[in-house]
Structures are given as structure tokens and as C-alpha cells.
Amino acid sequence: MATIRNLKIKTASCKRIVKELHSYEKEVEREAAKTADMKEKGADPYDLKQQENVLAESRMMIPDCRKRLESSLADLKGILAELEEANQKEGPEVTEAESTIVDVEKLFETTESYNTTSYTYATCVTYSGSSKTNLHATMDPKVVITYPRREKEFVGWAA
């Protein structure tokens, strides 16, 4: 049974996740600038690798946050539909929920059009002495796969 209280909770949850998503996007921009600055200044390779790991971790949080936002949006739409069926579709809470749904859908539309033209970057994973494949994060829109104990290297474009 959907209630106005549940609607308020789901609306607040969507708003919180949107705010979190924007925060992660800003963090990625900040960390990418810091990484580029370190490369430009010729920083110590160890420090540079650590900074690249920080950047890769920040980038991994954005898809996770988007999935949580999609799930929260679906829950919000479901509760709103249940309230509509129960003829409780009036009040400021319902209006706020509807505006939140519109805002989140606009956010998805703008990021989807951006994602169709951008490239996917590999996550930096290091396996030393194992038989697993190493993926190295690069600033170029390509994926470099290095096979351990071999001298071959495959470079492919990630779209």
C-alpha cells in the first residue's frame, strides 16, 4: 500500500542520489585535472600511478550511482502510480514527486546523448605474477591489454 509518507521518502531518495551523482562527476573532473597536472609536471611514477588509481575509483562510482538512481526512479514512479490508482493524487508531495521524475529523466536524456559520443576507459587493475590479464587505464580513448609473461600487446578502441 503506497502512502504519502512513502512517496516523500522515495522523492527525497531520488534527490539525494542526483546530488551524489553530481558530486561524483565533479570529483572525477577535479581528479582528472590533478592527474593531468601531475603528468605535465613530471611527477614521481609511483605518485602518478596512485593518482590514476584514485581517478579510476572515482570513475567507477558514476555507473553505480546511475544504477541506484534508475532503481530509485522506478520505485518512485511505482508509488506514484499506486497513489493515482487509489485516487490520492493531489497535494504538494505529489507535485514535488512529479517534478523530481521530470528532472531525473532530463538528466538521463542529457547524459545518454553525451555517452553515445564518449569513449569508455579501462579500469586500472594490477595483477603481479598471476595469469590474469592486466588492464591499464589510459588518458587516450583506447584500451591497452597486456598479457603477463608475454611481450605481445593488444590495443583496441573502446566505444
The CA-atom distances, in angstroms, between 83 and each of 5, 65, 78, 134 are 11, 27, 9, 51
Q: Is 117 exposed, middle or buried (0-12, 13-18, 19+ CB in 10 A)?
A: exposed
Section 139-150 average pLDDT = 44
Task: Map out the domains of the chain as residue ranges.
Answer: 4-115, 119-159
- The candidate with the shortest Cα–Cα distance to 56, out of 22, 26, 31, is 31
Residues 130, 135: Cα–Cα separation, whole Å: 13
- What confidence tens digit (pLDDT) does each residue in 82-138 have? 988 888 778 888 889 999 999 999 988 887 654 433 334 444 444 344 444 444 444
| Nearest Cα to Cα of residue 7 among 89, 67, 64, 87 | 89
pLDDT for the residue numbered 128: 43
CATH code of domain 4-115: 1.20.58.90
Angstrom distance (rounded) from CA 106 to CA 59: 21
In the predicted structure, residue 37 carries a pLDDT above the cut 70: yes
| Closest by CA position to 11, among listed 132, 116, 126, 93 | 93
How far apart, in whole angstroms, are the C-alpha atoms of residue 103 and residue 111?
A: 12
Report the chain's mean pLDDT, rounded to a whole number.
Answer: 76
Q: Is the pLDDT of residue 155 over 80?
A: no
Q: Residue 15: its pLDDT value, please? A: 95
Whether pLDDT at 157 is above 90: no
Query: Per-residue confidence at 142, pLDDT binned at 50, 70, 90?
Result: very low
